[in-house]
Amino acid sequence: MPTGVALRDAREQLFDAADRVLFRDGPSGLTSRAVTAEAGVAKGVLHRHFADFDAFLADFVMDRIDRMDSKAAALLGSAGTGTVVDNLVGALTAVFESVAVAIVSLITFRDDLRARLRETWPAGVPVLTEAVIMITSYLTVERAIGRIADDADVDVLAPTLIGAAHLLFADREVPRPEAAAVRRVVLTVIGGVLQQPPE
């Protein structure tokens, strides 16, 4: 049996199942039994590929962080096009409508997972830190091409945007915020540094 293919397939199947369980039941509902039941596989499949459940969760979190690369590339590619506000609204919505908010809750909920992630991610909450890097990179380019002020402090603006957006999306019990609400947050944070009025 081609073990490399089987391992990749099993990992993806289990990670996708973890996404669904985490979205539906929150971090307290994310157990090895819930993941394997959701994936439709025997419980032993998870333990064949991971040392323990926290090892599975750590790999799951890092895999979902890696998936943010495409969002970062899309945001950087939008620099100089459309409006800065619309680009940020789209990027923040894409990040926080994904599993990112649930992963932040998961990391907060599980001490052992947090300790394991610290081995490879020494500071901050991985998903939020990666999102801040993404927004900082984008704002840096927009500043360089003159669409935001030369003195705009992107190292402050980016985490402020991520923190405000996270709070907006954090409550899983209410409907997702509408684009207008995200837009208000973005305008409040960066309105003072825009070099042209937002459309």
- State residue 37 phi and psi, 5-degree precision: -65, -45
* pLDDT per 10-residue tile (average), the chain, 199 residues: 51 90 86 92 87 88 80 89 95 80 76 74 68 94 96 96 88 77 95 80
Instruction: State how far Cα 67 lies from the chain centre.
Output: 8
Q: Read off the pTM.
A: 0.76
Helix (H, G, I), strand (E, B) or coil at 157: helix
Which tokens sit at 90?
Answer: 């789209």
Domains of the chain: residue spans and CATH: 1-49 (1.10.10), 53-193 (1.10.357)
